Chains A and B, each alone.
Chain A
Amino acid sequence: MQPIITISGLSKTYASGLAALKDVNLEIRRGEIFALLGPNGAGKSTLINIVCGIVTPSTGTITVDGHDIATDYRAARSLIGLVPQELTTDAFEKVFNTVSFSRGLFGLGKNPAHIEQVLKDLSLWEKRDSRIMQLSGGMKRRVLIAKALSHEPKILFLDEPTAGVDVELRQDMWRMVRRLRDSGVTVILTTHYIEEAEEMADRVGVIRKGELVLVEEKAELMRKLGKKQLTLHLPEPLAAIPEDLADHHLELAKNGCELIYTYDTRGGRTGITGLLTDLAAAGIRFQDIDTSQSSLEDIFVDLVRDAA
């Protein structure tokens, strides 16, 4: 199936001379939830803002459902809903009016029933006649989401939707995003919370200093994450791993004081029993055992640290 967004050779250098994006190539699949991860200043918002028409790219082309965002911007933008990172709202407007305004701006006729549904889904219906300035930060965030959903977008960009949002609301949002995905909406979100990407995304992209350093199925990532390590602390260092133990693919660490065994938690048999038997047979004794599991967070931190 044709990707819903195709980004090719995209780079952005701001007027200040700062290169915020460097030759980014990315395809977003129809109907997926794509999580964009990266440290502060990596270029996540820049990427989103370029696709949405708020920032002009320096080089590269982007098509949205086959429509070029520069030459066929009306068709491209009609498909997109954007929830920006900053809480920018018309303080004096009422909730219902500001959401209806967004719908009009995207060229759609009035549809109070749809607006009502969106506001109810976001638990904003009771606040429909409140001025935005009277709302709490989390509610303002929801108003921004309601504005983006008011025009029934096929693609939804959420730029750090859960920053400064309490646990309950965060779970509400996750539920909402899944519901949207089930109805065929493609969702691209940025986040600093790894567990959010773990929980939500079909695919994960990691961006670092303007470069897309990894794009992978979350399932694939999780498979890597499914790996667990068993560390055996030895009373006396080993010079080398004995021949008899070669089948276990062990590693030596800490100058031979540690033996590391990597296994898959999801495999039916971990091979631990066999390993321990063979260790005893080889006369290797150990003082202590511990196990550890690398998380998406570790991978992410590793990736990001590599740059520095």
Chain B
Amino acid sequence: MNLPAIQAIYKFEMNRFWRTALQSIVAPVVSTSLYFVVFGAAVGKQSQMIDGVPYGAFIVPGLMMLSLLTQSIANASFGIYFPRFSGTIYELLSAPVSPFDIVLGYVGAAATKSILIALIILGTAAFLVPLRIDHPIAMLFFLILTAVTFSLFGFVIGLWADGFEKLQLVPLLIVTPLTFLGGSFYSIDVLPTFWWVLSHANPVVYLISAFRWAFFSKGDVGVAISMGMSALFLALCLAAVTWMFKTGYRLKS
């Protein structure tokens, strides 16, 4: 393991985050507040409680997950795509670093950023609605597991994409819909049977459910299943990254 290299990549990526701190931090705070205004005020007035939790608080885990997923993917995919695009990847390829070092640096930084943003959202929400976290350790664990998994997924996208459009394609066409339909803003138990069954094919449902359980001790599906699904997805992404580096896919000619 090349520790100074991992540190260098991590620091480089985090610098990019701080350089654009205003966008990085202000944007999620503003958009979260907007969600609260729209959903919390408009929707929440009629349906005050879900599973014994005030609606405003109920949507917090979902909102955090929404940001966690999109930010992890966006940060990690851009982080590795950009050097490929600009050509500065030459330095990474010619350096005495293993694929593992590279992944650790990029994915570590992307996960850190998205966790920071999720925590900022949590902080903002705590100001606006009464909040409780029943299982803080589990909450942090899920936060980190999800951030790492989806940063890794983003890294795969960043390696695979051969244009800026493709970079946007997966998040826009797959991740955002899945997240919105994943029970961010409602309990999937309220859905008609057909949609309820279909929802179980949506991996994001498991993430949000487990995360919500960490807050309120209540979730749509079992925590163990959620963890199993996350671990499986993590393993898949790891396998993809390993294969890409082994074959030099889209990295070397």
Contacts and interface: CB of A to CB of B under 8 A. Distances in A.
Q: Do A and B come from one complex?
A: yes
Contact of B87 (A55, A56, A86, A97): A86
* Secondary structure class of chain B's binding surface, majority of residues: helix
B95 interface: yes
Interface string A82-125: 10101011111100010011111111110000000000000000
A104 B4 contact: yes
A193 interface: no
Interface residues of A, number: 36
A49 B90 CA distance: 9
Interface string A128-152: 0000000000000000000100000
A97 B97 CA distance: 19
Given A56-B252, A105-B9, A109-B4, A90 B86 contact: yes
B19 A75 contact: no
A55 B91 contact: no
B93 interface: yes
B95 A105 contact: yes
B46 interface: no
Interface residues of B, number: 27
A106 B95 contact: yes
Contacts of A100: 8
A208 B253 CA distance: 21
B252 A101 contact: no
Contact of A105 (B8, B16, B252, B253): B8
Given A55-B252, A147-B91, A106 B96 contact: yes
A52 interface: yes
Contact of A97 (B3, B7, B15, B96): B15
B217 interface: no
Contacts of B47: none
18 contacts: A15-B253, A54-B252, A56-B253, A74-B2, A82-B90, A89-B88, A90-B86, A90-B88, A93-B12, A101-B8, A104-B4, A104-B5, A105-B4, A107-B4, A107-B5, A107-B97, A108-B4, A147-B91
